[in-house]
């Protein structure tokens, strides 16, 4: 009675009270940790675009719904939990891939410009980026002769990435940069930047998986930076850093005191050998270097390091920064030199490639055509990342596509002839409509601006797949729906439609995501005393089970696809509260659990209910196993749960203090546990 009276008073209160309640609800949703992270991720991506390309509007296509969909897709892929680094990494890479796919000619302009001065021939083991995509394979001894298209840091991490192209491919590929090269990637003075040519080998290919649409290269230590003596910056680097230490200046005593050398020499010879030891045979490459004074020194590569020799060619000039200086005897060598060089943990290699000057001869050729890409139009350098106006596509019928709308859409914003809409809110009602051609569910979705009915249309053969992916949708659950279309109904009212086979259509129940309670960036840890003041989204709390206060458990039947309870209406048929009439072949035994949750620090206690996997996680037993227990053991079972500590996600399954009949299995309980994880 008190609840009904309170609800009635709330509805007939003054306008000031209503405004206060609306303001309070808006403040609650503004504190939604998931929405806060979406805003944070968007700002990080926009700042990254600002660093990468000052003269391009990098925000084009970076829609709010795109960010939310990618975050949720990653959460589903990483069910055990995500971190800001994981989410920002996936977002950044997905966004980069989408941009390159959308404008494939842009990165190639740089390569076409550099190609005019490209005169060297390919190394023997060189493969192209196009061939990597075609074969979905890359051997360890393959060589990439690449040009850096972009160098950036994944937002929220210290992970450096390079986007690479080459002179023979239309595709590009990302590589995770090895940490030994991080000091060379400064935004201002770093040598590993846009337009720099590099050779790399020893790469492992990470093929495309569910979380990412394109293959990437994993970090490799075997990377050589190319220099051009005809470029002023490169010539200054060589002269200032590498031409002051001839081989004759190397002193082992100085090395032992911490001295390091930067050496510059010509590759005279590359030889292979094997060192036979007691229990192993070690592969070795012996590279003979000659400095400007004609002094020779051996540079040795051992084991997997021999892959570096694939990047060298006799006649090329090699610059070695901080090579490891060793005694020739320790290197199993039979040379007259006392010292030798090795590829140490701090060694950096630079290469001025040898270009063979070929004799020009006159031959008869079949005429051919040069195929070149048309240059893109110039970009407006005055554009920035701030939105003063948003341009959206509109078709011939006047329907506007909001798929790439940069801001969140609210219920109050909806108008006819809008498509590609996404909504984020709480479920306040569910109805299955009668339709012979399709399966149609009507969901009432509420956000801070209002609530609206949405019609979800499923093709009958796809319904089972979607029910499995949706999980058990119920009152108070927070859902995200994308791909909505606003039209005018026959009754001349605004109607919001969703079709499961439309492009961009998705439906995700955030309250039941396994990753929710294991991802601190997506929730705010609350005390039980606080959940009564924040009811617009799932609350994550650390609680103790207190079955001595109140405990009820029963094993009943539920629909195996949607998780809702069923009632038997005949020997053959049962009725599901969500899907209506179904066959009894699609039911499974499940728990209906009511239990007291306690916060020992504050003494607060809350009665909540749950079912399905959540109840199994709390009880730590399956419904079948519990059902088979003797009755006395079932009675004693709650005592084994005393003082068990869990992380739980709680949703308010009542709206405005009113009782809603239908899907809620117990009208006297206001809180549902949608996820639970035992604390170690």
pLDDT digits (tens, 9 = 90+) for 511-529: 989 899 999 999 989 999 8
Q: Does residue 363 register a pLDDT over 60?
A: no
Q: CB atoms < 10 A from the CB of 50, how many?
A: 14
Higher pLDDT, 367 or 492: 492
What residues have CB less than 8 Å from 282, skipping those under 6 apart?
274, 275, 302, 303
pLDDT at site 368: 35
**Stretch 147-166: mean pLDDT:** 89
CATH topology for 120-226 is OB fold (Dihydrolipoamide Acetyltransferase, E2P) (2.40.50)
Q: Does residue 661 register a pLDDT over 70?
A: no
**Structure confidence at residue 583 as a pLDDT band (50, 70, 90):** low
- Asked if residues 305 and 224 have their Cβ atoms less than 8 Å apart, the reply is no
Total H helices, total E strands in the chain:
13, 31
**Stretch 244-253: mean pLDDT:** 90
* Inter-CA distances, 148 with 22, 161, 185, 206, 325, Å: 52, 10, 11, 19, 31
Give me 300's structure tokens.
């040795």
CA dihedral 586→590→592→593, nearest 10 degrees, is -160
Q: Does residue 370 register a pLDDT over 50?
A: no
- Asked if residues 594 and 609 have their Cβ atoms less than 8 Å apart, the reply is yes
In tens, the pLDDT along 408-429 reads 999 999 999 999 999 999 999 8
Report the CATH number of the 232-352 domain: 2.40.50.140
**Structure confidence at residue 230 as a pLDDT band (50, 70, 90):** confident
**What's the rounded Cα separation, in Å, for the pair 468 and 90?**
25
CA dihedral 595→646→524→505, nearest 10 degrees, is -80
**Stretch 21-43: mean pLDDT:** 72
The DSSP annotation for 308-341 comes to GGGG--TT-EEEEESPEEEEGGGGT---S-SEEE
Most confident stretch, 179-188, 244-253, 341-350, 483-492: 341-350
Higher pLDDT, 643 or 623: 623
Task: Find out if CATH 2.40.50.140 is the number for domain 400-511.
Answer: yes
pLDDT at site 558: 83
**Comma-separated ranges of CATH 2.40.50.140 domains in the chain:** 120-226, 232-352, 400-511, 524-678
In tens, the pLDDT along 164-221 reads 999 888 889 999 999 999 999 875 668 999 899 999 999 999 887 644 567 899 999 9
In tens, the pLDDT along 545-575 reads 999 899 999 988 887 767 778 877 677 777 7
Out of 179-188, 245-254, 577-586, 610-619, least confident range:
577-586
pLDDT at site 137: 87
The conformation of residue 52, written as its DSSP 8-state character, comes to H
pLDDT at site 670: 87
pLDDT at site 374: 29
The structure's pTM equals: 0.64
pLDDT at site 277: 74
In tens, the pLDDT along 418-477 reads 999 999 999 998 887 776 666 788 899 999 999 999 998 876 544 554 555 556 788 889
**Stretch 231-243: mean pLDDT:** 90
**Structure confidence at residue 8 as a pLDDT band (50, 70, 90):** very low
Closest alpha carbon to 110 in 148, 57, 156: 148
Percent residues over pLDDT 70 in the chain: 78
Closest alpha carbon to 468 in 563, 558, 573, 582: 563
- Class (C level, CATH) for 524-678: mainly beta
**What's the rounded Cα separation, in Å, for the pair 53 and 110?**
14
Q: Mean pLDDT score of the chain, rounded to an integer?
A: 80
Q: Does residue 602 register a pLDDT over 70?
A: yes
The DSSP annotation for 67-105 comes to HHHHHHHHHHHSTT---HHHHHHHHHHHHHHHHHHH-TT
């Amino acid at each position: 009675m008190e609840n009904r009276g309170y609800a009635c008073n709330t509805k007939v209160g003054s306008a000031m009270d209503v405004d206060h309640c609306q303001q309070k609800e808006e403040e609650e949703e503004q504190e939604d940790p998931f929405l806060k992270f979406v805003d944070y991720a968007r700002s990080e991506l926009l700042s990254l675009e600002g660093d990468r390309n000052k003269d391009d509007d990098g925000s084009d296509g970076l829609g709010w719904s795109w960010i939310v969909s990618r975050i949720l897709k990653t959460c589903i892929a990483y069910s055990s939990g995500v971190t800001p680094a994981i989410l920002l990494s996936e977002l950044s890479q997905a966004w980069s891939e989408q941009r390159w796919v959308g404008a494939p000619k842009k990165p190639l302009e740089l390569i076409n410009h550099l190609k005019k001065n490209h005169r060297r021939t390919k190394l023997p083991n060189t493969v192209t980026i196009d061939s990597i995509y075609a074969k979905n394979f890359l051997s360890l001894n393959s060589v990439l002769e690449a040009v850096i298209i972009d160098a950036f840091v994944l937002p929220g991490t210290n992970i450096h990435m390079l986007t690479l192209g080459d002179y023979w491919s239309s595709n590009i590929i990302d590589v995770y940069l090895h940490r030994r090269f991080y000091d060379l990637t400064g935004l201002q003075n770093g040598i590993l930047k846009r337009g720099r040519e590099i050779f790399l080998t020893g790469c492992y290919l990470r093929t495309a998986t569910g979380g990412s649409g394109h293959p990437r290269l994993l970090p490799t230590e075997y990377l050589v930076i190319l220099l051009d003596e005809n470029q002023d910056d490169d010539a200054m680097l060589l002269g200032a850093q590498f031409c002051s230490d001839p081989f004759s200046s190397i002193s082992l005593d100085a090395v032992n005191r911490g001295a390091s050398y930067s050496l510059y020499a010509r590759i005279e010879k590359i030889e292979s050998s094997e060192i036979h030891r007691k229990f192993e045979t070690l592969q070795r490459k012996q590279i003979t270097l000659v400095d400007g004074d004609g002094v020779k020194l051996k540079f040795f590569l051992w084991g997997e390091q021999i892959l570096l020799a694939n990047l060298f060619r006799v006649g090329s000039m090699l610059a070695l920064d901080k090579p490891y200086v060793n005694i020739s005897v320790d290197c199993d060598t039979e040379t007259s030199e006392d010292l030798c060089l090795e590829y140490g943990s701090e060694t950096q290699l630079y290469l001025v490639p040898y270009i063979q000057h070929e004799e020009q001869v006159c031959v008869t050729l079949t005429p051919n055509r040069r195929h070149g890409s048309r240059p893109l139009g110039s970009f407006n350098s005055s554009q920035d990342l701030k939105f003063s106006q948003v341009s959206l596509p509109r078709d011939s019928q006047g329907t506007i596509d909001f798929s790439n709308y940069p801001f969140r859409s609210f219920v109050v914003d909806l108008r006819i002839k809008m498509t590609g809409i996404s909504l984020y809110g709480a479920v306040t009602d569910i109805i299955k409509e009668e339709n012979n051609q399709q399966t149609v569910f009507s969901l009432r979705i509420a956000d801070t601006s209002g609530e609206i009915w949405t019609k979800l249309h499923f093709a009958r053969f796809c319904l089972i797949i979607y029910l499995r992916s949706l999980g058990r949708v119920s009152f108070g659950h927070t859902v995200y729906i994308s791909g909505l279309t606003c039209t005018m109904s026959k009754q001349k009212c605004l109607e919001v439609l969703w079709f499961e086979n439309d492009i961009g259509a998705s439906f995700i129940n955030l309250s039941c995501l396994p990753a929710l309670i294991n991802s601190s960036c997506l929730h705010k840890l609350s005390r039980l005393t606080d959940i009564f003041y924040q009811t617009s989204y799932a609350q994550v709390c650390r609680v103790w089970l207190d079955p001595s206060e109140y405990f009820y458990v029963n094993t009943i039947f539920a629909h195996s696809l949607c998780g809702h309870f069923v009632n038997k209406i005949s020997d053959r048929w049962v009725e599901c509260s969500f899907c209506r009439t179904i066959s009894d072949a699609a039911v499974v035994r499940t728990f209906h659990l009511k239990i007291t949750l306690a916060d020992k620090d504050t003494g607060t206690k809350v009665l909540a209910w749950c079912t399905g996997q959540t109840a199994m996680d709390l009880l730590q037993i399956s419904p079948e196993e519990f059902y088979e227990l003797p009755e006395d053991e079932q009675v004693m079972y709650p005592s084994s749960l005393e003082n068990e500590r869990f992380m739980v996600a709680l949703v308010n399954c009542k709206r405005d203090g009113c009782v809603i009949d239908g899907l809620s299995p117990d009208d006297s309980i206001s809180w549902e546990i949608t996820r639970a994880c035992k604390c170690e």
